[in-house]
Structure 1
Amino acid sequence: MASVAVGKKRGVPALGWWLMVVGTVRLAFTWSCFFGSAALCSATYSQAQVSDVHGRTVGVWTLLSCTLCFLCAFNLDNKPLCLATFLSFVYAYGYFVVEYLVYHSVGASTLAALGFFAVPAILWMLLEWNSHGHGIRTAAKQP
């Protein structure tokens, strides 16, 4: 059993580091929504009026996604957690795409800035889906 534990000792993979970077950016955004007079939230929704309540709501939503990023970064072998984190990126970026295309409440620059973090994370998580822990491929090879 000790040899198994030694064999599993490893550092945080690059995807985990990226998720920590994204989580840190999300944490800064959350801080701004709560304590920065919603300045960053207002800048995000440049085409719409942002109330303090809306800013705090976006802050809580972003804090939840930040938490998922950090948890997933250290638990890339946990498929349900990775799926929840992956979907948080899809839902959040999808939400902003709809806000841009349908409601026109965010600008193209905001969408691009958010996409700088979301799109690589979405693609990277898809590419790495079976690379950590006991993935689908690993389970299929077992007798």
Structure 2
Amino acid sequence: MNSLLPSHEGMLPYWLLLISLFSVMNTVQCYRTKSFALRTYEGPASASQVTDFGARMFGTWTCLSCVVRIFAAYNIGNREVYLLALWTYLIALGHFASEWMAYGTMKAGKGLAPVLIVAGGSVCWMITQWNFYVE
């Protein structure tokens, strides 16, 4: 089992891998039904604006982010891969924050909170640990 885990010291590679595993599950859910996207995009316009196509698009974005974060978990010392993973969180944070605060399509609640916590926390963690991980 240890041979399957990232070999770099520190907890960030394990965090990236864990979030990626959850992302795989979310991707599958988004391709099966739009209910996961409806929960995430809970808000005034979600029921009419979240379509099956939109859910699959959300699943595709989630899958792409997952792949980048897995690469980062195993190549955490690579500057470019680290930056790509960081950007996946920055883009997600910007997207969800703008849907909530600028467009009003999401509301603060159980759908938005986990996304903001994971993306915001990951951004802070990755920025503060840059010198520890990047060669």
Instruction: Name stretches of at least 5 consecutive residues in structure 1 with no aligned partner.
Output: 1-9, 135-143
Question: Of 38, 42, 45, which residue of structure 2 is paired with 1:42?
Answer: 38
Equivalent position of 1:28 in the other structure: 25
- Aligned residues of 1:15 and 1:73 also touching (Cα < 8 A): yes
Compute the TM-score of the two structures, normalised by the length of structure 1.
Answer: 0.81
Deviation of 1:12 (Å): 4.9
Q: TM-score, length-normalised on structure 2?
A: 0.85
Give, as a single letter, the amino acid of the residue that structure 2 aligns with 1:25.
F
In percent, how many aligned pairs have the same letter?
Answer: 27
**Residue aligning to 1:56:** 56
1:45-85 alpha-carbon deviations (Å, 9 max, x no partner): 22222111111111101100011111101111110011011
SS of the aligned residue for 2:133 comes to: coil
For residues 87-110 of structure 1, the C-alpha deviation after alignment (integer angstroms, 9 at most, x for no partner) is: 110011110000001222222122
Q: Does 1:112 align with 2:107?
A: no
The equivalent residue for 1:121 is: 122
CA apart distance, 1:116: 2.0
> 2:70: which partner in 1?
70
> In the TM superposition, what is the alpha-carbon distance from 1:42 to its structure 2 partner?
1.2
| Distance in 1 between residues matched to 2:106 and 2:113, nearest whole Å | 10
Single out whichever of 72-81 and 45-54 deviates more from structure 2.
45-54
CA RMSD in angstroms comes to 1.4
Task: Report the structure number with the largest CA radius of gyration.
Answer: 1
Contact persistence 1:12–1:73 (CA under 8 A): no
State the match for 1:90 in structure 2: 90
| Count of residues in correspondence between the two structures | 124
What is the aligned partner in structure 1 of residue 4 from structure 2? none
Structure possessing the higher relative contact order (Cα contacts under 8 Å, 6 or more residues apart)? 2
- Whole-angstrom distance in 1 between the partners of 2:80 and 2:71: 11
What amino acid is the match of 1:91? I
* Distance in 2 of aligned mates of 1:46 and 1:111: 8
Tell me what 1:19 maps to. 16
